[in-house]
């Protein structure tokens, strides 16, 4: 009898702790997984609880597979709904099957029936919270006293008419192929900004959990967009000191086998939170310069005009040393219309006293070159010679074959990532394989290489070397 009393007292104390602290709730409901010695789980749970109670708006979670990120989020939603039955939650995954699975897991845990006095269920901790009768569909359900507390959706689903206080996005990229597809990633961002954010109530919170496939995936863009207003949980399977995040879940031996089987790039994205586009990018890095410039034998420029309204105009001004290295002095890189780009390029050429300005004449480039030439004459320029030419060779092949030269011989000014952030992002994320949305910066950079290493074929009236 005394043993049973002690067990009841201990059980009651555990239940009370579970109401107060999220990790204690997880430990009570699933003690075999949420062990107290698994410190990373305690840290993850505490960060989630602090985030929801704090001022920050967004939390991004990056964890290896099978380490409990989705399971913990399901538990977190249960715990929050237990504390507040008016909470409205929306989850989104790359398809509605996964999203419904998440929603069904939360719903079924709340509905779980008591079978043993000392085996805890949700209603032991939150006895007044129940699924509303007749309102328990897998993707849309409510609690007694609430209304439509939960909606599961996807980029191909609907969120019309549903508002939420907590938005959870769980792995919208389904494969490495999508991670290489810039158009797919842009669609995810548009879905997030145009659809999901419009459903978030004032003061609502956002949690994004996903494998870090790419630097410009949804998680990467959200972290960049929100900056200091975001919380980031980032845990690697193999820690910096060589220890495993949790040997019980993933041992070194098992991790090594997975790396061998799936390849280093895929393994790095899944288990180390290292995006594959860092591994698959064309340019691994550029040289930089600071301080006094070397002596130049000429100052030149290369311009790739925008083919369509969504393309960028990329125009580099550079100095050529006597050892045939190129020092980038100034850049115009923009999607703005010709009303802006023509005078901007002319001003740069005039300001830098460019001797030869090469402008690709494909798709309207000749008219652009003539207008720049006219603007230069209006400034009284007698230094710059504008040359237009037609580029016939395959753009992708040119970019790939000249990439090594560009990294070895082209120098950017120190801090150029702050000076030209869009240019920096384009050059440092451009992929060897896969669909790149834009290649204008890379094409013009390749043009610098070609103008130095070989004679550009120009219209006969414009050859002047």
| Residues 357/303, Cβ–Cβ less than 8 Å | yes
Residue with structure tokens 């929306």?
Answer: 90
Choose among 124, 66, 77, 79: nearest CA to 104: 77
Choose among 33, 166, 153, 21: nearest CA to 79: 21
Strand partners, 166: 89, 205
Q: How confident is the model at residue 1 (pLDDT cuts 50, 70, 90)?
A: low
Q: Residue range 86-112: average pLDDT?
A: 84
Q: Residue range 448-458: average pLDDT?
A: 75
Q: What is the pLDDT of residue 134?
A: 66
Using alpha carbons, list the distances in angstroms from residue 106 to 9, 51, 89, 167, 456: 28, 20, 11, 15, 65
Distance CA 424, CA 277 (A): 15
Distance CA 406, CA 425 (A): 16
Q: Residue range 17-25: average pLDDT?
A: 96
* pLDDT tens-place string over residues 34-76: 999 999 999 999 999 999 999 999 999 999 999 999 899 999 9
Q: What is the pLDDT of residue 403?
A: 93
Q: What is the pLDDT of residue 273?
A: 87
Helix (H, G, I), strand (E, B) or coil at 289: strand
Q: How confident is the model at residue 464 (pLDDT cuts 50, 70, 90)?
A: very low
Is residue 26 pLDDT above 90, yes or no? yes
- As given in the structure block, the two tokens for residue 385 are 């010679």
CATH fold label, 287-462:
Nucleotidyltransferase; domain 5 (3.30.420)
* pLDDT tens-place string over residues 361-390: 776 678 999 999 999 999 999 899 999 888
Name which residue leads in pLDDT, 384 or 160.
384
3-state secondary structure 167-213: EEEECCCCCHHHHHEHHHHHHHHHHHHHHHHHHEEEEEEEEEECCCC
Q: What is the pLDDT of residue 145?
A: 81
Q: What is the pLDDT of residue 28?
A: 95
* DSSP one-letter code for 441: H
Percentage, residues of the chain above pLDDT 70: 91
Choose among 290, 355, 292, 371: nearest CA to 318: 355
Is residue 154 pLDDT above 80, yes or no? no
Mean pLDDT of the residues in the chain = 87
Choose among 345, 340, 320: nearest CA to 330: 345
Is residue 142 pLDDT above 50, yes or no? yes
* pLDDT tens-place string over residues 190-235: 888 888 888 888 889 999 988 887 788 888 889 988 888 899 999 9
Q: How confident is the model at residue 123 (pLDDT cuts 50, 70, 90)?
A: very high
**Which of 97-101, 197-201, 275-279 is least confident?**
275-279
Choose among 451, 256, 431: nearest CA to 359: 451
User: In which region does residue 160 sit, left (phi positive, over 0), alpha (psi from -120 to 50) or beta (all else)?
Assistant: beta
Distance CA 177, CA 277 (A): 11
Helix (H, G, I), strand (E, B) or coil at 7: helix
Choose among 160, 127, 167, 132: nearest CA to 146: 132
Is residue 460 pLDDT above 60, yes or no? no
Q: What is the pLDDT of residue 216?
A: 82
Using alpha carbons, list the distances in angstroms from residue 290 to 128, 240, 329: 66, 32, 12
Q: Where are the domains of the chain?
A: 2-280, 287-462
* pLDDT tens-place string over residues 282-311: 888 899 999 899 999 999 999 999 866 678
Strand partners, 168: 91, 207
Helix (H, G, I), strand (E, B) or coil at 27: helix
Q: What is the pLDDT of residue 461?
A: 39
**Cβ contacts of 363 within 8 Å, gap of 6 or more:** 305, 307
Is residue 358 pLDDT above 70, yes or no? yes
- As given in the structure block, the two tokens for residue 249 are 């879940």
Q: What is the pLDDT of residue 279?
A: 65
Share of the chain residues as helix, strand and coil, in percent rounded to the nearest 5: 45, 20, 35
| Residues 449/380, Cβ–Cβ less than 8 Å | no
Is residue 459 pLDDT above 50, yes or no? no
Q: Are strands 89-92 and 58-62 parallel, antiparallel or unpaired?
A: unpaired
Architecture of domain 2-280: 3-Layer(aba) Sandwich (3.40)
* DSSP one-letter code for 153: E
Using alpha carbons, list the distances in angstroms from residue 116 to 78, 113, 119, 381: 21, 9, 5, 90
Q: What is the pLDDT of residue 235?
A: 94
Is residue 397 pLDDT above 60, yes or no? yes
């Amino acid at each position: 009898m005394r043993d049973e009393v002690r067990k009841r007292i201990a059980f009651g104390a555990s239940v009370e702790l579970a109401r107060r602290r999220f990790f204690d709730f997880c430990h009570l409901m699933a003690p075999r997984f949420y062990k107290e010695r698994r410190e990373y789980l305690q840290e993850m749970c505490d960060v989630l609880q602090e985030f929801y109670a704090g001022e920050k708006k967004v939390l991004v979670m990056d964890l290896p597979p099978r380490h409990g990120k989705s399971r913990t989020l399901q538990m977190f939603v249960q715990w929050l709904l237990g504390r507040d039955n008016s909470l409205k939650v929306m989850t989104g995954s790359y398809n509605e099957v996964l999203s419904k699975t998440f929603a069904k897991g939360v719903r079924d845990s709340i509905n779980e029936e008591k079978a043993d006095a000392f085996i805890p269920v949700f209603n032991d901790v939150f006895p007044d919270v129940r699924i509303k009768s007749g309102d328990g569909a897998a993707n849309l359900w409510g609690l007694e006293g609430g209304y439509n507390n939960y909606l599961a959706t996807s980029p191909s689903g609907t969120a019309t008419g549903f508002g939420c206080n907590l938005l959870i996005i769980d792995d919208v990229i389904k494969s490495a192929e999508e991670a290489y597809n810039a158009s797919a990633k842009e669609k995810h961002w548009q879905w997030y900004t145009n659809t999901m954010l419009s459903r978030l109530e004032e003061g609502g919170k956002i949690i994004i959990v996903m494998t870090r496939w790419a630097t410009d995936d949804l998680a990467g863009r959200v972290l960049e967009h929100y900056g200091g207003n975001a919380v980031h949980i980032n845990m690697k399977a193999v820690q910096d000191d060589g220890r495993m995040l949790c040997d019980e879940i993933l041992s070194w031996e098992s991790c090594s086998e997975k790396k061998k089987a799936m390849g280093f790039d895929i393994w790095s994205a899944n288990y180390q939170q290292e995006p594959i586009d860092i591994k698959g990018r064309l340019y691994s890095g550029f040289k930089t310069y600071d301080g006094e410039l070397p002596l130049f034998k000429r100052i030149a420029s290369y311009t790739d005009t925008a083919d369509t309204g969504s393309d960028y105009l990329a125009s580099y001004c550079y100095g050529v040393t006597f050892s045939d290295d190129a020092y980038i002095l100034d850049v115009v890189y923009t999607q703005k219309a010709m009303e802006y780009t023509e005078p901007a390029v002319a001003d740069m050429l005039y300001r830098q006293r460019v001797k030869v300005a090469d402008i690709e004449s494909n798709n309207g480039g000749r008219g652009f070159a003539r207008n720049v030439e006219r603007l230069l004459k209006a400034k009284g320029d007698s230094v710059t010679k504008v040359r237009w030419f037609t580029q016939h060779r395959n753009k992708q092949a040119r970019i790939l074959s000249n990439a090594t030269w560009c990294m070895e011989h082209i120098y950017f000014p120190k801090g150029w990532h702050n000076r030209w952030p869009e240019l920096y992002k384009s050059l440092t994320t451009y992929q060897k394989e896969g669909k790149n949305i834009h290649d204008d910066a890379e094409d013009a950079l390749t043009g610098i290489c070609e103008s130095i290493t070989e004679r550009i074929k120009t219209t006969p009236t414009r050859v002047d070397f």
